[in-house]
Amino acid sequence: MYRMTFLNLALAILFSCFLASCSKPPSALEKVLLRNELVVLTRIDPTTYITDEFGAHGFEYELASLFAKHLGVGIRFTLPEQFHHLLQITDGHEADFSAAGLTVTPEREQTLRFTQPYYAVTQQLIYHYRTRRPKTIQRLNDSFFEVLAGTSHAENLRQLKKKSPELSWVESYDTNVSELLSMVNDNLLDYTIADSNQFQMARSQFPQLNAAFDISKPEHIAWAFPKSIDSSLYDEAVKFLSILKEAGTLEQLQDKHFGYSKHLNYVSICTFRQHAQTRLPQLREFFHLSAKKYNIDWKLLAAVAYQESHWNKHAVSPTGVRGIMMLTRATAKQMKVADRLDPVQSIDGGAHYLKTRTYKIPKRIAEPDRTWMALASYNIGLGHLEDARVITQTQGADPDKWIDVKQRLPLLSQRKWYKKTKYGYARGKEPVTYVENIRQYVKMLGQLEPSTDNSKPIDINGYHALEISPHAL
Specify the pLDDT at position 251. 87
Gap between the Cα atoms of 181 and 177, Å rounded: 6
Specify the pLDDT at position 146. 93
Q: What is the mean pLDDT of residues 311-321?
A: 86
Q: What is the pLDDT of residues 223-256, one digit of tens each?
A: 999 998 899 999 999 999 999 999 888 988 888 8
Residue 15 has pLDDT above 80, yes or no: no
Is 308 one of the annotated active-site residues of the chain?
Answer: yes
So where are the chain's domains? 2-117+222-259, 123-216, 266-472
Whole-model pTM?
0.74
Question: Quick check: do 2-117+222-259 and 123-216 share a fold?
Answer: yes
Gap between the Cα atoms of 450 and 444, Å rounded: 10
Question: What is the CATH number assigned to the segment(s) 266-472?
Answer: 1.10.530.10
Q: What is the pLDDT of residues 109-122, one digit of tens each?
A: 999 999 999 999 99
pLDDT above 70 coverage of the chain, percent: 88
DSSP 47: T
Residue 456 has pLDDT above 90, yes or no: no
Gap between the Cα atoms of 399 and 365, Å rounded: 9
What DSSP string describes 322-375?
BTTTTB-HHHHHHTT-S-TTSHHHHHHHHHHHHHHHHHHS-TTSPTTHHHHHHH
pLDDT band at 13; cut points 50, 70, 90? low
What separation, in Å, do the N-terminal and C-terminal C-alpha atoms of the chain show? 8
Pairing outcome for strands 97-103 and 191-195: unpaired
Average pLDDT, the chain: 86
Gap between the Cα atoms of 338 and 315, Å rounded: 16
Specify the pLDDT at position 43. 92
Of the listed 60, 62, 308, 436, which one is catalytic?
308
Asked: is 2-117+222-259 a CATH 3.40.50.2300 domain? The reply is no
Specify the pLDDT at position 53. 67
Q: What is the pLDDT of residues 352-403, one digit of tens each?
A: 999 999 999 999 999 889 999 999 999 999 999 999 999 999 999 999 999 9
Question: What is the CATH number assigned to the segment(s) 123-216?
Answer: 3.40.190.10
Q: What is the pLDDT of residues 400-431, one digit of tens each?
A: 999 999 999 999 999 999 999 999 999 999 99
Beta bridge partners of 222: 102
Specify the pLDDT at position 472. 39
Residue 463 has pLDDT above 50, yes or no: no
